[in-house]
């Protein structure tokens, strides 16, 4: 497959919340496989998520190769000193990304630096507590349970300027109550009924997540490992 798509110059412009709330996680190691999935899912999902695995393997090329097929959510979860994060966010914004993650746990100065560096071309999302992290693990870290820690980090990130947040589906209602209706809430750990939780400790179905107040749903394996990814995406959208 020719990864350098001839349509690359006609990349879709990132939008805020599309009518289609599905963000498909292209968590595959090979760019050729990610592009093949993007081709099958063009028009069937609202966003394509490029995560650490794909970005570590292929760098900015992973974004430019996928961008012709839909808006890009770059999930790299930046967490470093504010100056480094601001500079990194500025460079990454040049790739035409609509959404990008930073860890809210990096503190308000770091989150604010990310927002400044990223500029007005897209939205910074503050990651609260990873969906794979249980309350038992939070206790081992000396941290409050998710029901306390997630809203606390959500408020911190929003007050620092982040226009969006990432939180587990079961935390969405508490976060929405904490930050209000204008903040974009993106929820990973979304699994259709009967598909299992994989490595997410606080998962929920797409319909449950949307009912709780989510704006965008990050879904990976139930779509990308299906025999027909496009049909799988259509089936999930039909439940919403």
Inter-helix orientation angle 172-179/146-159, to 10°: 40
Cβ atoms of 134 and 168 closer than 8 Å: no
The catalytic position among 30, 44, 49, 77 is 77
Cα 124 to Cα 53, 106, 153, distances in angstroms? 20, 13, 14
Cβ atoms of 17 and 214 closer than 8 Å: no
Inter-helix orientation angle 108-118/82-93, to 10°: 30
Q: Closest Cα to residue 73, out of 56, 38, 97?
A: 97
Residue 139 burial (CB < 10 Å; 0-12/13-18/19+)?
Answer: exposed
* Catalytic residue check, 77: yes
Cα 191 to Cα 42, 86, 124, 198, distances in angstroms? 21, 33, 24, 9
Residue 2 burial (CB < 10 Å; 0-12/13-18/19+)?
Answer: exposed
The Cα–Cα gap between 48 and 23 comes to 6
Cβ atoms of 74 and 92 closer than 8 Å: yes
Catalytic residues: 77
């Amino acid at each position: 497959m020719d990864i350098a798509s001839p349509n690359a110059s006609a990349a879709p412009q990132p939008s805020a919340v599309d009518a289609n709330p599905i963000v498909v996680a292209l968590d595959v190691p090979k760019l050729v496989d990610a592009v093949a999935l993007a081709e099958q899912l063009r028009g069937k999902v609202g966003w394509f998520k490029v995560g650490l695995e794909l970005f570590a393997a292929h760098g900015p090329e992973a974004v430019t190769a996928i961008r012709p097929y839909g808006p890009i959510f770059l999930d790299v979860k930046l967490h470093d000193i504010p100056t480094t994060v601001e500079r990194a966010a500025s460079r990454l914004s040049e790739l035409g990304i609509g959404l990008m993650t930073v860890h809210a746990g990096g503190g308000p100065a770091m989150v604010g630096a990310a927002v400044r560096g990223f500029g007005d071309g897209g939205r910074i999302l503050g990651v609260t507590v990873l969906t794979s992290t249980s309350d038992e693990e939070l206790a081992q870290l000396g941290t409050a349970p998710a029901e306390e820690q997630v809203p606390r980090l959500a408020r911190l990130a929003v007050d620092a300027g982040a226009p969006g947040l990432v939180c587990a589906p079961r935390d969405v209602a508490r976060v929405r109550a904490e930050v209000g209706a204008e903040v974009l809430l993106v929820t990973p750990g979304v699994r259709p009924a009967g598909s299992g939780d994989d490595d997410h400790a606080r998962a929920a179905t797409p319909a449950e997540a949307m009912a709780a107040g989510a704006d965008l749903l990050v879904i990976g394996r139930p779509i990308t490992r299906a025999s027909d990814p496009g049909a799988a995406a259509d089936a999930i959208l039909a439940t919403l």
